[in-house]
């Protein structure tokens, strides 16, 4: 991690927790994270628990994020949640293009790009996810696949992001085969792919803006492997699934990121 970029660790709770769990998890993290400098931490509960978790972390240094949003601000889109609604309930971040949504809910690059544009226009910071599947990895296509996803997601958005891209955008590299499997990418491979993502960002956004964008690694991050991942100069934090559901584990990962960023 370079000293120019502040590490960011986000907990993607996915479709987990009850209302009570959500409150307890946020409560268990609020105080320990308040004492931790040098890292941005984000909790991303399910939509229905955003308000409850948000109340717990209000006025703290822990930010609230959502796991998805619709393109439009409002209207006849039954079952959807708009970026304006997310801002209204206190969200700063929104995860977009997670591989589970790409794969299971058939979200394509074009839709993710429209969501990203809308999220930024509403003042949310998208955490845009990229990552290759196992077959693509084994075929040596990782850089090509991830670069293609990023180009599609950011197509034509250089103006909207402007010189301030570092404050308006976070990218996550999450190899699909590493998510929820207990088999993370090696720190070296993750660092190399994230380096290639940054080179793509240079093409898309220019040198200065690309240097400021934080790029997370995601996929089976735990307290045991976090420090090694964060020791890679290009890895600026983590998007954490399973381990974010246990307060001590999520805190330990945030602490490792803060330590690496100093
Ligand atoms: P995992 O999930 O940490 O459980 O592998 C990461 C993610 O999907 O964001």
Domain-wise residue ranges, the chain: 8-261
Reduced to 3 states (helix: H, G, I; strand: E, B; else coil), residue 167 is: helix
Give the pairing type, strands 214-218 and 170-173: parallel
Determine whether 122 is an active site residue. no
Residue whose pair of structure tokens reads 């997670």 in the numeric block: 98
pLDDT (tens digit per residue) in 209-229: 999 999 999 999 999 999 999
Nearest ligand 1 atom to alpha carbon 219: 5
pTM for the full predicted model: 0.97
- Residue 19 DSSP class: H
Query: What's the rounded Cα separation, in Å, for the pair 55 and 243?
Result: 22
Nearest ligand 1 atom to alpha carbon 240: 3
Query: What's the rounded Cα separation, in Å, for the pair 100 and 172?
Result: 14
Nearest ligand 1 atom to alpha carbon 95: 9
pLDDT (tens digit per residue) in 105-118: 999 999 999 999 99
How far, in Å, is the centroid of ligand 1 from the Cα of 176? 9
Give the pairing type, strands 125-130 and 40-44: unpaired
Minimum CA distance residue for ligand 1 atom 6: 241
Minimum CA distance residue for ligand 1 atom 1: 241
How far, in Å, is the centroid of ligand 1 from the Cα of 186? 15
Top CATH class, 8-261: alpha beta
Selected catalytic residue, list 100, 107, 174, 234? 174
Q: Helix (H) and strand (E) counts for the chain?
A: 13, 8
How far, in Å, is the centroid of ligand 1 from the Cα of 16? 12
User: Angle CA(169)–CA(189)–CA(65) in degrees, nearest 5?
Assistant: 30
Burial 142-177 (b: 16+ CB within 10 A, else e): bbebbbebbebbbeebeeebeeebbebbbbbbbbbb
CA distances to 11, 74, 123, 137, 262 from 68, rounded to whole Å, are: 14, 15, 15, 26, 31
Selected catalytic residue, list 70, 98, 100, 117? 98
Query: What's the rounded Cα separation, in Å, for the pair 49 and 13?
Result: 11
One pLDDT digit (tens) per residue for the chain, 262 residues: 444 799 999 999 999 999 999 999 999 999 999 999 999 999 999 999 999 999 999 999 999 999 999 999 999 999 999 999 999 999 999 999 999 999 999 999 999 999 999 999 999 999 999 999 999 999 999 999 999 999 999 999 999 998 899 999 999 999 999 999 999 999 999 999 999 999 999 999 999 999 999 999 999 999 999 999 999 999 999 999 999 999 999 999 999 999 998 6
Contact 102, 145 (CB under 8 A): no
Tokens encoding 61: 């240094």
171: which residues sit within 8 A by CB, 6+ positions away? 127, 128, 130, 150, 197, 201, 213, 214, 215, 216
**Angle (deg, nearest 10), helices 223-230 and 247-261:** 20
Determine whether 98 is an active site residue. yes
């Amino acid at each position: 991690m370079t000293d120019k970029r502040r590490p960011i660790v986000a907990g993607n709770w996915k479709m987990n927790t009850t209302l009570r769990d959500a409150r307890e998890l946020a409560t268990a993290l609020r105080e320990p994270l308040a004492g931790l400098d040098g890292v941005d931490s984000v909790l991303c509960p399910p939509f229905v628990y955003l308000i409850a978790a948000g109340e717990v972390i209000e006025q703290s240094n822990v930010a609230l994020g959502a796991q998805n949003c619709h393109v439009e601000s409002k209207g006849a889109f039954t079952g959807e949640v708009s970026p304006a609604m997310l801002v209204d309930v206190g969200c700063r971040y929104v995860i977009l293009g997670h591989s589970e949504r790409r794969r299971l809910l058939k979200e394509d690059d074009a839709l993710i790009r429209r969501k990203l544009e809308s999220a930024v226009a509403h003042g949310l910071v998208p955490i845009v996810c990229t990552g290759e599947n196992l077959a693509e990895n084994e075929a040596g296509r990782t850089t090509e696949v991830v670069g293609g996803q990023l180009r599609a997601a950011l197509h034509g958005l250089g103006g909207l992001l402007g010189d301030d891209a570092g404050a308006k955008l976070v990218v996550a590299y999450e190899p699909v085969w590493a998510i929820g499997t207990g088999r993370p990418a090696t720190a070296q491979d993750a660092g190399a792919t994230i380096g290639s993502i940054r080179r793509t960002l240079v093409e898309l956004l220019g040198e200065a803006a690309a240097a400021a964008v934080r790029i997370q690694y995601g996929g089976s991050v735990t307290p045991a492997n976090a420090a090694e991942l964060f020791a890679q100069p290009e890895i600026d934090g983590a998007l954490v699934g399973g381990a974010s559901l246990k307060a001590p584990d999520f805190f330990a990962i945030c602490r490792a990121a803060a330590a690496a960023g100093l």
